[in-house]
Structure 1
Amino acid sequence: MAAEPTAKASHGSRVGTSRPPLEVTLLDDYQGVALDMADWSSLPPGTRIQVLREPADNEDELVRCLAGTDVLVVMRERTPLPASVLERLPRLRLITNLGARNAAIDLQACARLGITTCNAAGDPQARGATAETAWALILGWHKRLFASQLALRAGVWQPTLSSRVQGKVLGLVGLGRIGRQMARLGTAFGMEILAWSPHLAPERAAEAGARAVDKTELFDAADVVSLHLVLAPSTEGIVGAADLRRMKGDALLVNTARAGLVQEAALRQVLEQRRIGGAALDAYWQEPLPAGHWLLALDNVMLSPHLGYASTENLRAYYRNALRHIHDWLSGVAIPSMQPDCQ
């Protein structure tokens, strides 16, 4: 778990001279962009900023890397922070999470240890970026863009036929803000829109241009099933073997939400047995997706590395809001705490 060179703040409000310099760690900066996304030099003089781009291999390594950290900026749910880690970080006093929720942080342990926690909001239009990613996968799959590009590079012209989406059925599992945007775009492409979630009212579905159906009908009828639920204890594994077996033989499952919505073993079985057309995925049960993962051996999947939220605009808003929370915390200004019911 290699760290980027430490950056030092050059100006800003002062920390008492009797206290050691403030140490801030930015976790899981995969692209190496965190230091350019906000004005970290506005932190108190002498502040040390550590940027970690690679995930830790184990808890002991993570504790070693965070040993001197006062403030931790975490990228969503990439690195788990259980009590067994938090209890070994005596200097840690603030965790600011980039995103609306983070089930990988033990909030009870934070409260017991006196660690303040908060969420840093992203770009207000970030959910639109997630819908855009879902549609990129849907269109890329139907137009066979990835396979065609590989073939062109190998000197093969038109290796396969594409297919249309107009006139097909889009089934949305979840009709929140992202789901409603998916419905609008699906309607623009001339698709019939079906929707299901555990508590979806027919009137609410109709307002979004969708028809509310039960779960069985959605998986039976849809040519594309796209998942847009929040992962919670009530929705974990909500798409199981029986649902996947109901899908048409050429249907596509799209997941730009959370991998945990789908039972991994069930999806693996239907893909390996080619019982459905395929899957287009942007979220995984383990991230980063490790070399040798079973998905990487299949030719009936389209994969993207969790790009739905990872836009320049969203990360810039994340880091700037995180920095604002750090300034507020240093100044004694109250900041909204993460709540257990957000997990």
Structure 2
Amino acid sequence: MKLRCAILDDYQKVALEVTDWSVLQDRVELESIHEHIQTEEELVRRLASYDILVIMRERTPFRASLLARLPRLKLLVTTGLRNASIDLAAAASHGVTVCGTPGHSEPPVELTWALLLGLARHVADEHQALRAGGPWQTTVGTDLYGKRLGLLGLGKIGSRVARIGQAFGMEVMAWSQNLTEDKAAEQGVMLAGSKEELLEGSDFVSIHVVLSDRTRGLVGEAELQRMRSTAYLINTSRAAIVDQTALAKALMNGWIAGAGLDVFDIEPLPQDHPYRSLPRVLTTPHLGYVTRRNYETFYRGAVEDIQAFLEGAPIRMLN
């Protein structure tokens, strides 16, 4: 009998098109699920009959309670090589192999700049006014040249964001718990003496640290109040790095000029979520990694992972 494999959260209905799955057809029966499944009860009902699951990043968490209720599951493939929404220890205890795939870090860099530029030049507001037949020009943009870009994190993504800022003629400063002066100097970036110094002195603050116990709530109410009232915050990393209640308060009260957000505490956002209506915010539905090239790489890697598992030699194991 063939093993059953479901591809979850294939929102754009492209998973079966962007790579060649035919090498699996003799041993695996494939199905793509397009809608997001919200509850654990529904996940168990829909997924109990599958041996293999392919998930897209962190769209559907696999906690211990869910894994315990999927006894048939043997292989869980996540796109990317890190997924904080999977309980890896629980997966191992239930005999579930977890594998990752390659991916590209350029797309989140590009979206960071789409949000930053959109905020600086009020692109969404002006577009909506023009389409609605409103006044011709209603805003005054913010220059990038000569302004300071503050980066919380200067890793693979942060360093690329820094280079683009420098190309715009911006002064770039960075800070993280482990960032050294030598590492910052390698990128031609100033090292902030503290998180507070970076927040107080930057015109744009962009977040590029990994979510961990140390970075959860890294930017809270006190930090947002330290930012300039003319400054913008961009988060394409993880929502929990910023205190979401404090950020909503900052946007409502005008503590900062605005925020560009691609990540949220609940995804997909409920219809009544404040970020669907808050002022001074430019939002995208977690598109940082959503590009054709990334999808091709993700799903090609998933096929490779499944092939290797079937041959008894799993690759890119995360647990």
* Superposition TM-score, scaled by structure 1 size: 0.90
State the partner residue of 1:80: 61
Measured in 2, the distance between the counterparts of 1:329 and 1:168 equals 51
State the partner residue of 1:147: 125
The Cα of 1:333 is off from its aligned counterpart by 1.9
Out of 122, 125, 140, the residue aligned to residue 161 of structure 1 is 140
Measured in 2, the distance between the counterparts of 1:217 and 1:322 equals 43
* Superposition TM-score, scaled by structure 2 size: 0.96
Number of residue pairs aligned between Structure 1 and Structure 2: 317
Out of 284, 287, 307, the residue aligned to residue 327 of structure 1 is 307
State the partner residue of 2:114: 136
Asked whether 1:243 is paired with 2:226, we answer no
The Cα of 1:106 is off from its aligned counterpart by 1.6
SS of 1:120's equivalent in the other structure is coil
Report the AA paired with residue 249 of structure 2: Q
82-91 vs 162-171, which moves further: 82-91
Report the AA paired with residue 102 of structure 1: N
Deviations 1:11-47 (A, max 9, x none): xxxxxxxxx3210010111111101022122214263
Contact 2:119 2:259 in 1 (8 A): no
Asked whether 1:178 is paired with 2:157, we answer yes
Contact 2:8 2:53 in 1 (8 A): yes
Asked whether 1:192 is paired with 2:171, we answer yes
Alignment of 1:1-343 (within 5 A): 20-45=1-26, 47-122=28-103, 126-155=104-133, 156-213=135-192, 214-339=194-319
Measured in 2, the distance between the counterparts of 1:189 and 1:233 equals 34
The Cα of 1:315 is off from its aligned counterpart by 0.9
* RMSD (CA atoms): 1.2
Paired-residue identity, %: 45
Measured in 2, the distance between the counterparts of 1:264 and 1:325 equals 36
Report the AA paired with residue 126 of structure 2: S
The Cα of 1:93 is off from its aligned counterpart by 0.5
SS of 1:190's equivalent in the other structure is coil
Measured in 2, the distance between the counterparts of 1:131 and 1:47 equals 36
Unaligned runs of 5+ in 2: none
Deviations 1:248-270 (A, max 9, x none): 01100000111111011111111
Measured in 1, the distance between the counterparts of 2:105 and 2:98 equals 23
The Cα of 1:196 is off from its aligned counterpart by 0.4
Deviations 1:283-322 (A, max 9, x none): 1111111211111112200011111111110011000011
Measured in 1, the distance between the counterparts of 2:174 and 2:89 equals 36
SS of 2:60's equivalent in the other structure is coil
Greater than 4 Å deviation, 4+ residue runs: none
